[in-house]
Amino acid sequence: MKKTAANRTAARQAAATPVARELKGADIVVRCLEREGVEVVFTYPGGSALEINQALTRTRKIRTILPRHEQGGSFAASGYARASGKVGVCTATSGPGATNLVSAIADAFMDSVPLVAITGQVFQKFIGKTAFQETDFFGMTLPVVKHSYLVLDVRDLPRVFKEAFALARSGRPGPVVIDIPKDVQQARAVPEFPDAITLSNPVLANTPRATDADLDALLRLLEKSKRPVLYTGGGIIAANASAELRKFAEKTRVPVTTTLMGLGAFPENHPLSLRWLGMHGLAAANWAVDQCDLLIALGARFDDRVTGDTARFAPRATIVHLDIDASELNKNKPADLPVAADVLDALRRLNARLAAGKCRLPDTREWLSQTDAWKADFPFRYETGPHIRPQEVIETLHRLTKGDATIVTGVGQHQMWAAQFYPLTAPRRFISSLGLGAMGYGYPAALGAKLAQPKAQVIDIDGDGSFLMNIQELATAAVEKIAAKVIILNNQHLGMVVQWEDRFYNGNRGNTLLTRPENLGHAGNPSGLYPDFVKIAEGFGVKARRVLDRADLVPALNELLAHDGPCVLDVITDNTQHVLPMIPGGASVADMILE
């Protein structure tokens, strides 16, 4: 029988439409990831996750990255999420593979990072029987996730994954765990993929919206204010609300300070910027909050590193607290106007009211004159010396890159100096473990950030102690050709702990020296410093260079920036430096150390 044009069209359409067929649970997992638009998965195989890893070899839509440690993979997934705004995905096997993800899950929980962690689990018949490589990962992670799943029926996988991704990215973003026994991965079913999902938990599912009365009340407080301050956090970045924040600040002429999580949400070179506040923040920002009569907190949570003694934080201010997570309202600091709301929607509507002339704008000229004087008189600063100062490394990097780089950090003094001396002008360009403060975060997170921002110059500013904790990820960078760079500010100490020892423990060293005492200091015996990061990096196949003398710093930084692959720059720095300003923990602005 002769085929007509209509018959041929119908045949082509039938061939293009996938026919429902049975799939292994592991293949359903991969299909679910594809449907969520996942492009990169950081995955470490093992016995209980073999099926998932085998299924990942059959996809052409997802790039799989093998880290050299599960913690490295999960931190990389976090860095990817922070840099892209998408959900980061990592997988591991049961038992120790899963438990190695816990730090990254806790970090994502505290810093509101959208992360889905998929773990293999032992066969269902062995659950609860202390089987080989069995842990109750579902129960173990409950305190540090938005939600956990233990999937016991292969037919539930499409729904579970749809829910998990919706939960991870909706409302206040956060981590979700999906634990899948091996027999569920092996079981077969005809998947039914939902196009949409209705989440049953209203707290997790809903995005609250400010009422008109809330917004009008905020504007009435602003009208009466003479010394207002906008205190903004990571919620601005998570909500993609930076442009609306800038519009609101410029219209009202209110100075803006951010948390470390909020760096880049408001350009730090803007005349209204007070940079960032808190324990090591700009003195001007801390004084402004202390003296303000109205504090408008947007997408920030009044954490202890910002507030110190909450009873003495912003003591003169009427406080407006607007946050998407209602549980944060009145938790750490009571608010006069608490508003559970999506900050992007709230700022858009506030700006519309301002444009319509529904608010008499405050006269902040005298207040801005005062904050400008504080900024001029007490900038972030340091004294030069005979040896390279860590602050000057970052300051020089900023000059050479013209501020156009994505900065990732480990945890310690270098983290604070990076925030102080590399001012940010755009969001998602500062990536660091801030709530949890997990050492070892920097380089693996930089790998994830580089995959998310392939055209950006991505640089991990790290300390010698922090970098050592996940140094094995240099192998991942070399094999996968991920051109994330690292600058090690190498002072041979656990610097931040040393600073506290100097300030509060009479300089007594409690296991904070990272080299042999006889090799301490680059002026004495640089060839005997431990470890030799250059040799280690070269052993992984990564280009590396050490800098001892100030004259070599700029050429070495230019070499690092020009290199088209991963690169390590080990800069031996003065080990006597402290991060200043400093407000001791639990203290207040009155106790700020400036010198």
What distance in Å separates the CA atoms of residue 90 and residue 40, rounded to the nearest whole number? 9
What distance in Å separates the CA atoms of residue 226 and residue 224, rounded to the nearest whole number? 7
Which of 24, 86, 146, 182 does the annotation list as catalytic? Answer: 182
User: Is 361 in contact with 253 (CB distance < 8 Å)?
Assistant: yes
Which of 22, 124, 125, 132 does the annotation list as catalytic? Answer: 132
* Burial (0-12, 13-18, 19+ Cβ within 10 Å), 369: exposed
Using omega within 30 degrees of 0 as the cis cutoff, is the peptide bond preceding 45 cis? Answer: no
* Burial (0-12, 13-18, 19+ Cβ within 10 Å), 568: buried
577 is catalytic: no
Structural tokens at position 266: 């408001």
* Burial (0-12, 13-18, 19+ Cβ within 10 Å), 143: exposed
Q: What does residue 286 show for φ and ψ, rounded to 5 degrees?
A: -65, -40
How many C-beta atoms lie closer than 10 Å to residue 570's C-beta?
24
133 is catalytic: yes
182 is catalytic: yes
> 3-state secondary structure string, 319-380?
EEEEECCHHHCCCCCCCCEEEECCHHHHHHHHHHHHHCCCCCCCCCHHHHHHHHHHHHHCCC
Structural tokens at position 66: 């093998």
Would you call 299 helix, strand, or coil by DSSP? coil
How many C-beta atoms lie closer than 10 Å to residue 421's C-beta?
20
How many C-beta atoms lie closer than 10 Å to residue 190's C-beta?
10
What distance in Å separates the CA atoms of residue 268 and residue 420, rounded to the nearest whole number? 10
Q: How far is CA 179 from the centre of its chain?
A: 24
Structural tokens at position 426: 């755009």
Which of 24, 51, 86, 133 does the annotation list as catalytic? Answer: 133
User: Is 237 in contact with 111 (CB distance < 8 Å)?
Assistant: no
Which of 70, 163, 244, 473 does the annotation list as catalytic? Answer: 70
Q: Could you tell me what percentage of the chain is helix, strand and coil, using 3-state DSSP and rounding each to the nearest 5? A: 45, 15, 40
Residues 6+ apart with CB under 8 A from 319: 295, 297, 333, 334, 335, 336, 337
Residues 6+ apart with CB under 8 A from 163: 147, 149, 197, 199
User: Is 148 in contact with 179 (CB distance < 8 Å)?
Assistant: yes
Residue type, 66: L
**Helices 343-355 and 212-224, axial angle in degrees (round to 10):** 60
Which of 261, 469, 496, 582 does the annotation list as catalytic? Answer: 496
Please list the active-site residues: 70, 132-133, 182, 496
